[in-house]
C-alpha cells in the first residue's frame, strides 16, 4: 500500500531552492501568489526531498518569504519526501514543471532529461511526449537542417509579399511637395514660371499636375 505523505509546518528558512530549477517565476506571478495565499490561505504544500531541497513549490517559497516579511508569519505547510531516491525526486520536479508551467528554461530541462536518461530512468512518466524527449535528448549537431528549407522559403516569400504591400500603401500616402523638391521657398516670379512650365507639360502629356511632371521627366531622362 502506498504511503500517504504527511504535511508538516516548517519555517520557510529551512527550504533549499533547487539550483537547476527549470521553472521561472516573475515578480508579477509571485505577487499574485502572495495575494491569493493571504486571501484564502495555503491550498497546496511545498514538497521537498529529505534534505529540504524543493521538489515542487519554488514560486510558493518566494511568496512565503514575502508573506513572512509582511506579516511575520514564517511557518508554512511542507511535505518532506525522504522516501524518494535522487532520480525519483528529479523526475517529480520535472513533472511538476511540466504540468504547471508555461515558461521554461529549456537548457535546464534538456540537461535534466539527459542526466535522467543516462541513469536509465523511465523519463516518459514525467509528462513529456516521445517527440519532445527525443528532441531535447538528441545530438543537435546531427540535426537535418534541410527539413526546414521548404518552410523557410515559404516564410520568406510571405514576408516579401507583406513588405511589398506595406511599401505600396506607403507610396500612396500624401506627402508635402517640399519633401520631394528639397527646398521650402521660391520667389513669386519663380512660382509663376513653375506654373507655366507645369501647364505646358499638362498640354503636351494630357495629364494633370505631378503626373504630367513625372511623365515629362521620364521622357527626358
Distance set, CA 71 to CA 27, 125, 133, 156, 218 (Å)? 19, 40, 43, 56, 79
What is the Cα gyration radius of the chain? 34
What number of other Cβ atoms are within 10 A of residue 10's Cβ? 20
Range 57-62, long-range pairs (CB < 8 A, 24+ positions): 58/17, 58/18, 58/21, 58/23, 58/25, 59/23, 59/25, 59/29, 59/30, 59/33, 60/33, 61/12, 61/15, 61/17, 62/25, 62/30, 62/33
Rounded CA-CA distance 33/60 in Å is 7
Average pLDDT, the chain: 77
- Report the percent of the chain where pLDDT is more than 90: 29
Q: Label residue 138 by pLDDT band (50, 70, 90).
A: low
What number of other Cβ atoms are within 10 A of residue 24's Cβ? 15
Most confident stretch, 29-33, 152-156, 168-172, 208-212: 29-33
State the pLDDT at residue 221.
Answer: 47
Digit-coded pLDDT (tens) for 175-217: 566 555 666 667 777 777 877 887 888 888 888 877 877 777 7
The CA dihedral of 189, 195, 199, 201, to the nearest 10 degrees, is 90
Rounded average pLDDT over 97-117: 71
State the pLDDT at residue 133.
Answer: 62
Q: Label residue 131 by pLDDT band (50, 70, 90).
A: low
State the pLDDT at residue 195.
Answer: 79
How many residues in total does the chain contain? Answer: 221
Most confident stretch, 101-105, 112-116, 146-150: 112-116
C-alpha cell at 165: 504591400
Question: What pTM, to 2 d.p., does this model score?
Answer: 0.48
Rounded CA-CA distance 154/151 in Å is 5
Amino acid at each position: 500500500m502506498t504511503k500517504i505523505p504527511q504535511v508538516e509546518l516548517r519555517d520557510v528558512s529551512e527550504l533549499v531552492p533547487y539550483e537547476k530549477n527549470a521553472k521561472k517565476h516573475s515578480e508579477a506571478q509571485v505577487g499574485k501568489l502572495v495575494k491569493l495565499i493571504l486571501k484564502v490561505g495555503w491550498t497546496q504544500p511545498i514538497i521537498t526531498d529529505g534534505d529540504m531541497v524543493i521538489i515542487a513549490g519554488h514560486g510558493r517559497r518566494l511568496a512565503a518569504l514575502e508573506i513572512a516579511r509582511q506579516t511575520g508569519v514564517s511557518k508554512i505547510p511542507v511535505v518532506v519526501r525522504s522516501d524518494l531516491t535522487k532520480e525519483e525526486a528529479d523526475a517529480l520536479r520535472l513533472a511538476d514543471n511540466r504540468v504547471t508551467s508555461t515558461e521554461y528554461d529549456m537548457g535546464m530541462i534538456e540537461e535534466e532529461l539527459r542526466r535522467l536518461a543516462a541513469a536509465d530512468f523511465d523519463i516518459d512518466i514525467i509528462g513529456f511526449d516521445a517527440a519532445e524527449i527525443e528532441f531535447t535528448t538528441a545530438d543537435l549537431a546531427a540535426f537535418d537542417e534541410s527539413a526546414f528549407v521548404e518552410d523557410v522559403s515559404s516564410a520568406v516569400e510571405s514576408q516579401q509579399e507583406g513588405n511589398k504591400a506595406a511599401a505600396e500603401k506607403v507610396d500612396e500616402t500624401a506627402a508635402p511637395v517640399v519633401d520631394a523638391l528639397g527646398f521650402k521657398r521660391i520667389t513669386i516670379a519663380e512660382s509663376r514660371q513653375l506654373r507655366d512650365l507645369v501647364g505646358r507639360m499638362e498640354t503636351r502629356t494630357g495629364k494633370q499636375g505631378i503626373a504630367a511632371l513625372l511623365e515629362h521627366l521620364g521622357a527626358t531622362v
